[in-house]
Structure 1
Amino acid sequence: MSIKILICDDDSLIRESLKILLPLKGDIEVIGEASNGQEGIDFCLANETDVALIDIRMPILNGVEAVREIVEKTKTKCLVLTTFDEEDYINQALSYGAKGYILKNNSPDEIANSIISVYNNTIVINENVLDKFHGKESEPAISKYNFTDREKDIIKALSDGLCNKEISKKLFISEGTIRNYITVILDKTGLDHRTALAVNYLKGNL
């Protein structure tokens, strides 16, 4: 079964290029396109979409706000594809639930592989984006913390893309307890949100 994707970008050339190239690189079907964030939200609300490929800077409504609405109101997974690697955009998009943040200078193969990874609940972040995302001060501090076995279980589950309800079923603890664990872990590391924990875990920093 094909992965159904939406391409949300205000550059028509980018949209047309991806519509042609992506289906050639894997089991991917482009089912729609949007030229701004609001159109992207409307499409995902009206159509069953597996992955939304979303640019950041767009008219009417930007990609960061589009990610927040799409994640809150649909089951669509969001992958940010942009030319901008500013830390504020990265943090906002990931805190709102984006499953990945990659740059447009990636090859079509790399973009297609990122879509497939996000579809399979794997978080995808470009290496050069990760350098900005971590910051120079956070990495050395993280390695100093000794997590409990249960905290490690929570971090591992987050890195697998599981929501609190899914973690609850897997670990046989309540969602409220999970939220408490996540709060404690964030306090220990000084990180801002659960995606930051997952990214640091995948990088081998936890």
Structure 2
Amino acid sequence: MPIKILIADDDSLIREGLKIIIGLDEEFIVMGCVENGLEAVEYCLNNQVDVALLDIRMPIFNGVEAIKEISLKTKTKCLILTTFDEDEYINAAIRYGAKGYILKNNSPDKIKAAIKVVNSGNMVMQEGIIDKVLKGIDSDNSSKLNKDLFTIREMEIMQAIADGLSNRKISARLFISEGTVKNYITSILNKTSPEHRTQIAIYYLKGGNN
């Protein structure tokens, strides 16, 4: 089935350009285009959207505020597509549930590929963006992960997340239910400060306290 897309950008030229580029590909359906974060939230609440393509700087609700609401209240996956790569936006977007963060200077094929990755349940980051996230983690000594806090199974879950697996694929790898996977992730998050599975993966790959 085609991936159902919402485009949210306050620049009408960008909106229409993306609509044409993405809409020409039969693997996607552009459900709608909106010009601010609040409209994006309302659209996702009232329509079945697979992936919301969101700019960061928008009026009323910015992209980060929209992601927070959309992630909490719908099943829509959020992908940031923006010209801005400031640390504060990156970290906030990830913290509130963004499944990807890429820049507008990418080719149409790369943008469409990123949408597919996010829709599949995995995450995608612009080259260079992940370095900013890692620096943000390093700058917060209070958020360092102590592996002694975690069980062997929880470490296996973190490894699977670091490998980019969805909850369904993790359950298949470890021969446990998706509900059990979610319970383990909740337990991991309760033991440390990361608020999003992306950060779990980054902590694991960084070696915790290293």
TM-score by length of 2: 0.80
Question: Taking structure 1 as reference, are residues 183 and 57 closer, same or farther at Cα in structure 2, changes over 3 Å only?
Answer: same
CA–CA distance in structure 1, aligned partners of residues 9 and 136 of structure 2: 32
* Residue 69 (str. 1) matches residue 72 (str. 2): no
Q: CA separation of 1:145/1:25 partners in 2, compared to 1, >3 Å: closer, same or farther?
A: farther
State the secondary structure of the residue aligned to 2:177.
helix
Q: Secondary structure at the match of 1:127?
A: coil
* Identity rate, percent: 47
Check conservation: 2:8, 2:55, Cα contact below 8 A. yes
Tell me the residue number matched to 1:27.
27
Aligned-residue offset at 1:137: 7.3
Provide the rounded CA distance (Å) in 1 between the counterparts of 2:88 and 2:65: 13
- Tell me, in whole angstroms, the C-alpha distance in 2 between the residues paired with 1:119 and 1:173: 20
1:183 maps to what in 2?
190
What RMSD in Å do the two structures reach over aligned CA positions?
3.0
What 5-or-longer segments of structure 2 have no aligned partner? Answer: none
**Long gaps (5+) in structure 1:** none
Equivalent AA in structure 1 for residue 153 of structure 2: R
Distance 1:97 1:143 in 2: 20
- Contact kept, 8 Å, 1:6 with 1:49, in 2: the verdict is yes
Contact between 1:25 and 1:108, CA under 8 Å: does it hold in 2? Answer: no
Mapping of residues 46-195 of structure 1, within 5 Å: 46-135=46-135, 138=138, 149-158=152-161, 159-162=164-167, 169-170=177-178, 172=180, 175=183, 178-184=185-191, 186=192, 193-195=196-198
TM-score by length of 1: 0.81
Q: Give, as a single letter, the amino acid of the residue that structure 2 aligns with 1:169.
A: S
> Structure 1 174/195 Cα, relative in aligned 2: closer, same or farther at 3 Å?
closer
In 2, are the aligned partners of 1:7 and 1:53 still within 8 Å (CA)?
Answer: yes
1:46, CA displacement in angstroms?
A: 1.2
User: C-alpha displacement at 1:145, in angstroms?
Assistant: 5.6
Amino acid corresponding to residue 181 of structure 1 in structure 2: I
